[in-house]
Structure 1
């Protein structure tokens, strides 16, 4: 790859430089959180986090660890900027969404800091394209305050099991009800659509269940319109961690293996539907 050996032009000091041999490893993860046009990028020595939010009710984070990149340098403690995610994805796939077998698009990203554009250098088959994407002032991100000490229930499920659920449940329902319990039904997904109620149960000893740590019975409802964007990440993932905290907030963490076999994560946080009363459960 030619970019990894190229140094910045004379006099140019970048606060962020990153290189990938295969740009699809980044674009596929970003597609998994692309349900709004704009995203906030946050880079530290550990890697890159791309955050997308909607209606102050849902937040998605794509994590690309520094080790995934062939080169990753952050000159400051942290680098943060807002960007048009749709434009970013268009640039990453400028040579086409699917390359010919055996070919890939190499990527080098450079960012000089506040007020400067994000520079993308893309190369495929000897052809180099340079893209400049304007960056914006980052907005304050929601803090869901979802910490492990407050987690009440957690299961790890093979993604096939959840994909099956989303295909079988009635998506005309406004809400998805999730029950997690140390006793039966253990893990239940319920919808209440035009065709009536539908329930899908997973026993804790199911072949699809990789881990089951439930401390108390919790039943919460979440707007399906908020959860639907997470199915993009579900389609790419091999495992999903489903956690709820003591407020009923939901964390869906998807483990995704990229084309090179490396592991990345996409996490969705969703607040419970507050319009549902205890009497309705």
Structure 2
């Protein structure tokens, strides 16, 4: 067996996977430190979910082999939702060999029900394992997630573009939308109690598709903290820390800019 994992409380994981299920397939990569799921076929954005091995009650991999495969994400979400929001069964995942299906066994102890299913796996031909975090090394801001959600919701939701500016000078962090209805802007100071870290040596300002940013809003509602980082190329990184039952999981979201500005 190449991979086996068991978990007893998966509701927050299911909610996160359901929130990011905007593409059909997801790449699964079990590693010693935990399970990484990356959305496939995204050209200008990349979404990855990290579930540390400590979140699982049992977690084993064959460390002699690089394990990577692709499955239908929407099928996985549907299977995990068989018992609905009220159910919280014990779940076992196993992957026996290359090309074998991903086996899912769900036990609902209270109802004494067991469901045994399989999801067909696909080979991954060209997986890019380059860490985008290394590119987002210019400026960094750590902020409470609920405040960032509030700031984004204050902006014109129908706007096409979102400009993100981090500066060593006031007002420090600024979000600006531009659309048919005009321009709207919100900002927050590095001295705000909602900000736990602010590292900015030079001003970076870039414009992104607002629809790409809105993709992560639903996931952000489950997060406690968000680390916002930028790079010289305009790449924007959002690292979400999600706590559940004294355990943490992480979501990383990277968006390429439409263009840089001189602000």
Which range, TM-score by smaller chain? Answer: over 0.9
Size of the aligned set, in residue pairs, is: 260
Question: Which residue of 2 is the match for residue 253 of structure 1?
Answer: 239
Deviation at 1:140, TM superposition (A): 2.3
Question: Which residue of 1 is the match for residue 170 of structure 2?
Answer: 184
Equivalences for residues 78-227 of structure 1 within 5 A:
78-99=66-87, 104-124=88-108, 125=110, 126-142=112-128, 145-148=131-134, 151-227=137-213
Deviation at 1:164, TM superposition (A): 0.6
C-alpha contact 1:33 1:62 (8 A) present in aligned 2: no
Deviation at 1:23, TM superposition (A): 2.8
Unaligned runs of 5+ in 1: 1-13
Deviation at 1:212, TM superposition (A): 0.4
Deviations 1:47-78 (A, max 9, x none): 10000145411000000000100000001343
Question: Which residue of 2 is the match for residue 8 of structure 1?
Answer: none
Question: Which residue of 1 is the match for residue 27 of structure 2?
Answer: 40
Unaligned runs of 5+ in 2: none
Question: Which residue of 1 is the match for residue 255 of structure 2?
Answer: 270
Aligned counterparts of 2:125 and 2:23: Cα–Cα separation in 1? 14
Equivalences for residues 21-40 of structure 1 within 5 A:
21-40=8-27
| SS of match in other structure, 2:68 | strand
Deviation at 1:149, TM superposition (A): 7.2
TM-score, normalization by structure 2 = 0.93
Change (3 A) 1:72 1:55: closer
Change (3 A) 1:193 1:143: farther
Deviation at 1:194, TM superposition (A): 2.8
Deviation at 1:224, TM superposition (A): 1.2
Aligned counterparts of 1:166 and 1:204: Cα–Cα separation in 2? 17
* RMSD of aligned residue pairs (Cα, Å): 1.8
